[in-house]
Amino acid sequence: MADSYDVIIIGAGPGGYVAAIRAAQLGLKTAIVEREHLAGICSNWGCIPTKALLRSAEVMHLASHGKDYGVAIEGTVRPDLAAIVKRSRGIAERMNGGVGMLMKKNKVDVIWGEAKLTRAPSGDKGGEIVVSKPTRKPMQPQAPAPKNTKGEGTYKARHIIVATGARPRALPGIEPDGKLIWTYFEAMVPDSLPKSLLVMGSGAIGIEFASFYRTLGVDVTVVELMPQIMPVEDAEISRFAQKRLEKEGMKFILDAKVTKVDKAANSITAHVEKKDGSVETITADRLISAVGVQCNIENLGLEALGVKVERGAIVIDGHCRTSVPGLYAIGDVAGPPMLAHKAEHEAVICVEAIAGLHPHPLDKALVPGCTYCHPQVASVGLTEARAREAGRDIRVGRFPFVANGKAVALGDDQGLVKTIFDARTGQLLGAHLVGPEVTELIQGFVVAMNLETTEEELFHTVFPHPTLSETMKESTLDAFGRALNM
């Protein structure tokens, strides 16, 4: 007889495991199905281990500039690639194991395998899934399985949440081969440093890897289809970041696309077509394909159940319900923005709705975006261009980090905070930052926007001195002609 649950979640990434924990907190009998690794791409191959790599690069950068801080460092500062990768993988395994402990603590059953929906949750019988043996081998060793572990079989649930995430997108004819053409999987665990690297795509993934490898001394060129790097960011912030990255030695080719890649024994030659139709060839040791991701919707049984899918993503409403009653979707598989924190927030909304609570639907305008290159980039809300396109009468404030005492003391004073307000109401519409630790600062603006803050509240907020956060208040003051330190 099939085991029965109140909620079954398919996928144990940041959306899935958070959904499982919240469901258990609300007294729902819960199970989670995972075919490879608890904590998903984010903790195993994405958010967390990439930040470990970037931290190593940051330490190397600081050590290389020790004399600027009055610190004498003898000998040549060089990367120990094996140690850098080992540290990153160790952190990934630690996070993986931590999620296993959370499942045990919250009495969530972990079912190992690949799930397929065989009956919709609507109706008296409830939903049903069949879990079979995974068809692919895990890319890293599994953490010890928690005691509350199950395997192949048939399972029933009154509610089923799909949280299967996404994977790297491949362009036809430029498919990653794991040797010369990498995705972020291979880029995280190189056996040796390439002398030259071509990065295809300048979104967060592409720019972060470009920044990591450039800091370690690799010759890096980035090709971007759009006329600016980090296309989702405010154009002014993007230009600032590009200039800083170019100063570090990175090269960019914008308004261009890679149309063909020729492979040699240990290098690639990319044919890059520019906007004017001309073609430039670039030879590099390796190519990283970072042209986006695609949702993992295949082989789940969605078609047979009639689940609505658009542009490769499962269609959901404000409470993460799909077109099939009792079936939900959260995170990357439910479409952009494809960010771990968005998945976690949707998880809570979804489960609380299932439990009969009345959570607020996700406001995607309040989901921050962060890129952890050097300099960091972070944003929330409308860009200046989007605000003007929407017909808003706006006030724009700017404050440079070069005028901030803490940034100067840190020796990292290149950056900019840009704020956008509605000129009539004073509503904060957007905030865009580039510079040191802005991925931490951005949350102040996110909280402010969530509370529907106006400029007056920010004027009357005391910001501690000396901190980088003072740039946030000064940018607000500047929008209304009141900047004090510029």
CA distance 122 to 118: 12
CA distance 403 to 368: 25
- In three-state secondary structure terms, 41 is helix
8 A C-beta contact, residue 423 and residue 395? yes
C-alpha 174: how far from chain center: 23
8 A C-beta contact, residue 120 and residue 305? yes
Secondary structure (H, E, C), 153-218 = EEEEEEEEEECCCEEECCCCCCCCCCCCEECHHHHHCCCCCCCEEEEECCCHHHHHHHHHHHHCCC
242 CB neighbour count, 10 Å cutoff:
21
Residue type for 371, please? T
Full strand arrangement of the beta sheet holding 251-253: 181-182, 286-289, 196-200, 219-223, 251-253
Encoded tokens for 220: 């890096």
Is 465 known to be catalytic?
yes
Q: Which of 159, 341, 432, 465 is catalytic?
A: 465
Q: Is the dihedral of CA 349, 350, 355, 361 positive or negative?
A: positive
Encoded tokens for 264: 């040699």
Q: What separation in angstroms does the CA of 243 have from each of 109, 237, 302, 424?
A: 50, 10, 46, 34
Catalogue the active-site residues: 465
